Structure 1
Amino acid sequence: MSNVGPLGRSLPTNGSLTATPVVSVVIPFFNKHLEFEHALSFNAGYLAKPSVEVVLVLDEPFSWEHVRRLIARYATIRWHVLVHDEMHRWRNPAPVINVGLRRARGRFVLVVSPETVFLGDVPEIFLATHSALSQERLSAYGNPDVALFGMVQFLRFGEQPEERRSVQKPYGSIFFERQHGLRLHGYNERFVEWGGDDDEFRRRLTLSDVAVVGCPQARLAHFETEQDYLLRRSRDESRILRQKYAVNCIHDWNIDQPEFGALECRTLVDWAECDDLRPVGSLISL
């Protein structure tokens, strides 16, 4: 087990493993081994805190062997790992995100992708910004409800964020109070293809009187292969159409989806089954 991050810095320890987390980082996962390992080498220091848990939901069973080794390497992170055992082609992650939303224990939920690299302490930045904006809105409007999204750069492996000033896009993350996500019945599981689900969720948050605000201080990067870069570019047009549909055709935050997050998943690792004398790594047989 290593407690050292990518730049030789010591990672923080978990402190009391019985403390309730404040932020649940929900990560839907489908066959992103190398990307997740790369992102985790940067993010581990920001995730290995008593205030944070990572809810990793595998939408296929074959990634577990690789993920298990990563968990053992970063055992000071509070891992909650679930898996859906049925094989299928790639699909929209809405059902998997909803499983994570249901199982999360934190007051706040941060949804990111496996390949998301934090350019700074993104969970803490979101938390501090949310606190400040909530107070401002409470004083000004009597309504403290806020959700936040960060700004993401798309980079190829080997590039540094400072090397290429690629366009920052308002995607790649959303930070909200879990109670608001539950009230909205989560992400819309009617989306099956790529794109539109995050726009629709933001739209319904807005319609439910939650202010959805950009947080430019929360900077993220998605590192991708040349093949993924070309695939993403080819999807841009269809994504734009789905974005417009999601924003323009939703007129009510309350969708008819009472069984959201019901995708059958089993628990592989749960930090809450540990105690101060038995860290997460001890639950994993290698």
Structure 2
Amino acid sequence: MGKYFTDILKDFNLSIIMPFYRKFDAFSRILPLNANLFSRNGIEVIIVLDEPSQKKQVLDLIKCYPLINWIIILNRNEHPWRNPSRAINVGIKNASKKYTMVCSPESYFETDAIFRLRVVVEFYEASFAVGKVYFNTYGDFSLNSNMGLSYGSIMVKKSHLINVGCYQEEFDNWGGEDDQIRHKLEFYGYKKIYVDDAILIHFDGSPSEIVNRNQKSREIPDYTYQYSQRPSSKNLEQRNWGKDFDEIIFDYRKKKLDLEID
């Protein structure tokens, strides 16, 4: 088993996908804490900017972390907040690695969730691994005082996601996409494995705000909840995914950073 651990550390073969909608303040605060985990061998970090207003800020920031393999994809169309499923699919389509991990740009890696999830999907071929997330603001925080949820991160082979048609892009409001991708994967026979020591802390809102995630969950419309829990034959066969936008403004493989893009 030690040999497999060493092999993973030599090459994670992993694309980390972050759907990004006006999250620069939170992302810039958290990135210094996560950078060492992102800069390891065989990891690429794909930021999917779902609108253009923070493009220059993000490009300026990533210059400070040249050891991280960045891919930045830009949607030039301005729009209100929407469900991240379309942005996630754009990231999956552009991922070059064998495995994919989806997480939020404002999430802090309390443990090495990347390695813990990666070990699981290495040993269990037909599986996907789900970490645990705790929600809080930027004030005092204790894992013991917050109930973690089995959300916040998922790792799976890219080929498994392609087999199930990736995330459903019909979701518009908050919630639903996480549950449905799990049900789709399970429907096709992939085993869901919970990894409770793969812990992320999702910082949401300003330091003075109290985030009530349970309230958000209760506000999910019934039709959205039912749709997320019961994949239909139609959405299991989705093939036209990840085409909402495709402009890559930075790609570590080309070593080009263009700050003059309008």
TM interval, short-chain normalised: 0.7 to 0.9
Q: What's 1:219 paired with?
A: 199
| Identity percentage of aligned residues | 26
Q: What's 1:51 paired with?
A: 42
Decide which of 13, 19, 32 is 1:28's aligned counterpart. Answer: 19
User: Using the alignment, how far apart are the partners of 2:212 and 2:196 within structure 1?
Assistant: 26
Q: What's 1:106 paired with?
A: 97
The aligned amino acid for 1:35 is: A
Q: What's 2:112 paired with?
A: 121
Decide which of 176, 180, 185 is 1:200's aligned counterpart. Answer: 180
Q: What's 2:156 paired with?
A: 176
Give, in angstroms, the shift of residue 124 of structure 1: 1.3
Instruction: Note if contact 1:85-1:265 (Cα within 8 Å) is conserved in structure 2.
Output: no
Give, in angstroms, the shift of residue 106 of structure 1: 0.8
Give, in angstroms, the shift of residue 161 of structure 1: 3.7
User: Using the alignment, how far apart are the partners of 1:151 and 1:190 within structure 2?
Assistant: 26
Q: How does 1:1-286 map to 2 (within 5 A)?
A: 22-132=13-123, 134=124, 144-162=125-143, 165-226=145-206, 229-230=210-211, 232-239=213-220, 241=222, 244-246=225-227, 248-250=229-231, 252=233, 255-274=236-255, 283-285=257-259
Structure 1 unaligned segments of length 5 or more: list them: 1-18, 135-143, 275-281
Give, in angstroms, the shift of residue 38 of structure 1: 1.8
Instruction: Note if contact 1:111-1:173 (Cα within 8 Å) is conserved in structure 2.
Output: yes
User: Using the alignment, how far apart are the partners of 2:39 and 2:189 within structure 1?
Assistant: 33
When normalised by structure 2's length, the TM-score is 0.87
The aligned amino acid for 1:207 is: F
Post-superposition Cα deviations, 1:69-128, rounded to whole Å, max 9, x if no partner, equal: 210111110000010000000001111100000000110000001111111222111111
User: Using the alignment, how far apart are the partners of 1:182 and 1:84 within structure 2?
Assistant: 22
Give, in angstroms, the shift of residue 264 of structure 1: 1.8
Post-superposition Cα deviations, 1:182-234, rounded to whole Å, max 9, x if no partner, equal: 11111000111110111011000000010011111100001122576447454
Give, in angstroms, the shift of residue 20 of structure 1: 8.1
Instruction: Note if contact 1:58-1:83 (Cα within 8 Å) is conserved in structure 2.
Output: yes
User: Using the alignment, how far apart are the partners of 2:145 and 2:222 within structure 1?
Assistant: 26
Distance 1:253 1:149, change over 3 A: farther
When normalised by structure 1's length, the TM-score is 0.80
User: Using the alignment, how far apart are the partners of 2:184 and 2:25 within structure 1?
Assistant: 34
User: Using the alignment, how far apart are the partners of 1:52 and 1:98 within structure 2?
Assistant: 18
Instruction: Note if contact 2:136-2:211 (Cα within 8 Å) is conserved in structure 1.
Output: no
Instruction: Note if contact 2:110-2:199 (Cα within 8 Å) is conserved in structure 1.
Output: yes
Distance 1:248 1:99, change over 3 A: closer
SS of alignment partner, residue 273 of structure 1: coil
The aligned amino acid for 1:82 is: I
Q: May I ask how many residue pairs the two structures share in their alignment?
A: 250
Post-superposition Cα deviations, 1:228-264, rounded to whole Å, max 9, x if no partner, equal: 6447454221238467414543255962422100112
SS of alignment partner, residue 49 of structure 1: coil
The aligned amino acid for 1:55 is: I
